Amino acid sequence: MEFCVEDSTDVHVLIEDHRIVFSCKNADGVELYNEIEFYAKVNSKDSQDKRSGRSITCFVRKWKEKVAWPRLTKEDIKPVWLSVDFDNWRDWEGDEEVELAQVEHYAELLKKVSTKRPPPAMDDLDDDSDSADATSN
């Protein structure tokens, strides 16, 4: 979640299990306040916020990570100022498919490498050949 407030001061972010409370002052000194009730429980202990000159980004982890939410807020009505940031979108449904594709690709590479040529024959090697080479040099 990102709160876009340029040159913010007095920033306070409180992430609880069922809500986030955000407050600050903008560059003009106007106090801003938002309280969002989450659709479901989040892991408040594993969530954090980061401030930059233009915004405050909140990294909020869902309690059940592999469960899709139909929306961010508990309320069925989306606030007009709330929008999806697709630059930071993480599609949890595609994670397993990507991992499976990577494993299949790796297996194909191993198959190609292992079938290119047969392994070298090692039956003509004996213990004496190493010692003979060492004494002739």
- Cβ neighbours of residue 54 under 8 Å, at least 6 residues apart? 4, 5, 6
d(CA 15, CA 36): 10
The pLDDT score that the predictor gives to residue 77 is 86
Q: Residue 54: helix, strand or coil by DSSP?
A: coil
Does the pTM of the predicted model rise above 0.95? no
Domains of the chain, first to last: 2-63+70-90 (2.60.40.790)
Q: List, run by run, the mean pLDDT of 10-residue segments along the chain (137 residues).
A: 90 94 93 93 91 88 87 86 75 62 72 65 65 53
The pLDDT score that the predictor gives to residue 13 is 94
